[in-house]
Structure 1
Amino acid sequence: MKQLVVTERVCLIGHVLSLVFGLAGLLLVLPNPQFIAQLPSIGQQLFGLSMANGGVVYIVLGAIAVALYAYRTLGWQNLLGFMLPAIFLSLGSELLGTSTGFPFGHYSYLSGLGYKIAGLVPFTIPLSWFYLGFSTYVLARSGLEAKGMNGWSAKIGGIAIGALLLTAWDFVLDPAMSQAAYPFWAFQDVGEFFGMPYRNITGWLGTGLVFMTVATVFWRSPDLPLKRSQLMTPLVIYLVNFAFGALITIAQLDVRFWIPTAISIIVGVVPAITLWWSAGADEVTVRDPEITPFQLL
C-alpha cells in the first residue's frame, strides 16, 4: 500500500509541476520568441516537444494520481464504478458535441491535447472529466455527510454540488483554452457569455449530473467517511487546475474576464474549500495515516 501512496504522490507532484511548466511556457516563454531563438537547437527541439505534449502529460498524470487515490481510499469497485461512467459518458457527450453541436454548442479541438478519438476528441479530454469530476464529487459527498446528511439526500446533494463545482471550473477553463493567445479548442457559435455559448454551461452541468448520477448508482458503500487529511488529493487537484485556467484567463484576456473568474471563485473554489473543511479532522490518530476503512473491505 505504501508503494501506491508513493506513486500517487509522485504523479500528483508531476501533475502540479506540469501545470506550472505549462503556465510558464504559455505566459512567459511563447510571448517572448527572442528567448526561444537564443536556445541551442537541442533546447528548441526539447521546448517544442514539451509544449506540444505538455497538455497530454499533465492530464495523464492527474488521472493516474486520482485513480490511485480512489483505489487506495475507496477500493477498486468504487474506482471503476465512477471512472467508467465518467470516461465513457463524457466521451459520448464530447463526440456528440463536436459532431452535432449538442450539448455544448458547435466547437472543435485544435492540437496539443493528444490523439483524437474518431478524429474529433482528444483521448485526454474524458480523462480530465474523470479526475476533476471525481474530485468534486468526493469533496461534495464528504462535506455533506460530515454535516449529518445521509442516504439519498447526501447522494443527490453530492451529485448536484459536485456537478456545480465541475461547471464552475469551466468558467475559467474555457476562456483560457479557447480565447487566449494559444488556444486548444475553438467555438464556432457566437459566445453570449464571455465568448462561451450559454448551452456550453448547461452542457457541462448536464454532463456532470449524468455521469455522477450513474456513478452514484454503482457506489458500493453507503457513505463517504473521509476526513480533511484524506481529502487533500481531491482538493489539490481542483485548486491547481482552477488556478491554471484562472491565471491564463487573467493574464491574457481583458478585464471583462475577471467577472467569470470571480463567479467561478464564488461558485467553485469557496464551496470546495468549505466542503473540505467541513469534513473535519481525523478523530483517531493511527500509526499508518494511509489506512482507511475502505482498505478493509
Structure 2
Amino acid sequence: MKRLADIERFCLVGHLISMGFGLAGLLLVMPHPEFLSFVPAGQTLFRWSMAGGGVTYILLGTIAVAIYAYRMLGWRNWLTFMLPAVLISLSSELLGTSTGFPFGDYSYLSGLGYKIAGLVPFTIPLSWFYLGFSSYVLARAGLGRLFANRPWLWQVSAIALGALLLTSWDFVLDPAMSQTAMPFWYWHQPGAFFGMPYQNFAGWLGTGIIFMTVAALFWRKRSIVLPASQLDFPLVVYLGNFAFAMIMSMAAGFWIPIGLGLLVGVVPAVVCWKLAQVRSLTGIDAADVMLSSSQASSLDKPTTHTPVVVSTK
C-alpha cells in the first residue's frame, strides 16, 4: 500500500506541475514566443505542452484520485463513484455536443485527446470524475459534522453542495478556456455570462447531482469512512484546479467569474475541510459517518487507517 501512496503522490505533483506548464504555454509563450530563446530546450517543451499537456494533467489527476479513492475507501466504493461519474458525464457531454442540451450549443476543439464518437475528448469525463469526487468528499466530510444525526438531510445536502463545488470550478474555467489564444472548446451561440450561456450552469449542476446521487445510493449500505487527516488530498486537488482556472480568467480580465467561484466554491470547500478537522479534534477521527452497521468485505475496506466509526442507525 505504501507503493500505491507513493504513486498517488507522484501523480498529484505531476498533475499540478503539468497545469503549471500549460499556463506558461498559453499565457506566456504564445503571446511572447521570443521567451523560448531564454529557456533550455524551450521549443521542445513548448511543443510537448501544446500537444499533450492537457491530456497529461487530466490523466495524472485521474490516476492520483483513483488511487486515493481505492486506498481510502476500497475498490467497490471507488468504482461505484468513478463509473457513474464517467458514464453519466460522458452521456451528458455527448448529448450536449449533439443537441445543445443540457449545456448549450458547443463543440470541442483539439488539445484534449481522442474524441469519443468524434465529439467529446476521452479526458473530459475523467475530469468530471476527479473534480466531482474531490468536491463530494469535501462536502460530505464537512456536512457530516452538522447532520450526523440526520442521515438523509446529510446525504441530500452533501450531494447539493458537492455539485455546487463542481459547478463553481466551471464558473471560472469555462469563460477563459473557451476564449484563450488556443481555445479547447467554443460556443456556437455565446451566452450572456462572459460568453457562456446560463444554461451551462444548470447542465453542470444537474449532471453533478445525478452521478453523485447514484454514488450515494451505492454507498448507503457500505462503510464509507475517511480520516480527517486524509482530507488534505481532495482539498489540494480542488484548489489546484481552481487556481489553474482562476489564473486563466485573471489573464482574460474575467473578475466576476473569479469572485463568484471563490464565494460559492473555494470558501465552502475550505470551510468543509476545516469542519472536518474540528470534528476530529473533538474526538471523532472520521471525516465521514457510516451509513449502515453492515460491514464491507475485507477486500473492500481501506487498509491504512482504522478511524472511529459513528453509526447513524
Could you tell me how far 1:51 is from its partner in structure 2?
A: 1.6
Aligned to 2:96: 97
Any idea what SS the aligned residue of 1:218 has? helix
After superposition, give the CA deviation of every residue in 1:6-25 in whole Å (9 maximum; x if it has no partner): 11101101101111111111
Could you list the per-position Cα deviations for residues 24-82 of structure 1 after superposition, in whole angstroms to 9, with x for gaps in the alignment?
11111121112336778x64244212221000000000000000000001111110000
- Could you tell me which residue of structure 1 aligns to residue 268 of structure 2? 271
Distance of aligned partners of 1:223 and 1:168 in 2 relative to their CA distance in 1, 3 Å threshold: farther
Residues in 1 aligned to 2:26 and 2:49: alpha-carbon distance in whole angstroms: 12
1:80 and 1:39 mapped to 2: Cα distance?
Answer: 42
Shift of 1:192: 1.3
Query: Displacement, 1:264?
Result: 0.6
Supply the distance in 1 between the matched residues of 2:39 and 2:163 (Cα, whole angstroms): 44
1:94 is paired with a residue whose SS is: helix
User: Given residue 153 of structure 1, which amino acid in structure 2 is its aligned partner?
Assistant: L
Query: Match of 2:249?
Result: 249
Contact 1:78-1:220 at 8 Å conserved across structures = no
Q: 1:7 to 1:221 in 2, by over 3 A?
A: farther
Q: 1 CA distance for matches of 2:161 and 2:223?
A: 16
Aligned residues: 287
| Residues 174-217 of structure 1 deviation map (CA, whole Å, 9 limit, x = unaligned) | 01210122211000113111210011010000100111111111
Mind listing any 5+ residue stretches in structure 2 that lack a counterpart?
286-302, 308-313
Give the whole-Å Cα distance in 1 for the aligned partners of 2:175 and 2:284: 44
Quote the Cα distance in structure 2 between the aligned partners of 1:221 and 1:47: 49
The 5 A counterparts of 1:149-160 are: 149=148, 150-160=150-160
Q: Is the 8 A contact 1:191 1:198 kept in 2?
A: yes
Corresponding position of 2:201: 201
TM-score (norm 2): 0.86
Alignment of 1:9-88 (within 5 A): 9-36=9-36, 43-88=42-87
Aligned sequence identity (%) = 62
Match in the other structure for 2:191: 191
- Give structure 1 stretches of 5+ with no counterpart: none
* Structure 2 Cα separation of the partners of residues 20 and 37 of structure 1: 19
Residue by residue, what CA displacement relative to the aligned partner does 1:115-162 show, whole Å, maximum 9, x if unpaired? 000010000000000000000000011111123434222111111000
Q: 1:292 — aligned with what?
A: 305
- Contact residue 84 and residue 211 of structure 2 kept, 8 A: yes
SS of 2:226's equivalent in the other structure is: coil
Q: Deviation at 1:292?
A: 2.1
The whole-number CA distance in structure 2 between the counterparts of 1:22 and 1:197 is 26
Partner of residue 118, structure 1: 117
Secondary structure of the residue aligned to 1:279 is: helix
Q: Which moved more, 1:15-24 or 1:234-243?
A: 15-24
1:176 is matched with: 176
What is the match of residue 211 of structure 1?
211
Indicate conservation of the 8 Å contact 1:167/1:204, yes or no: yes
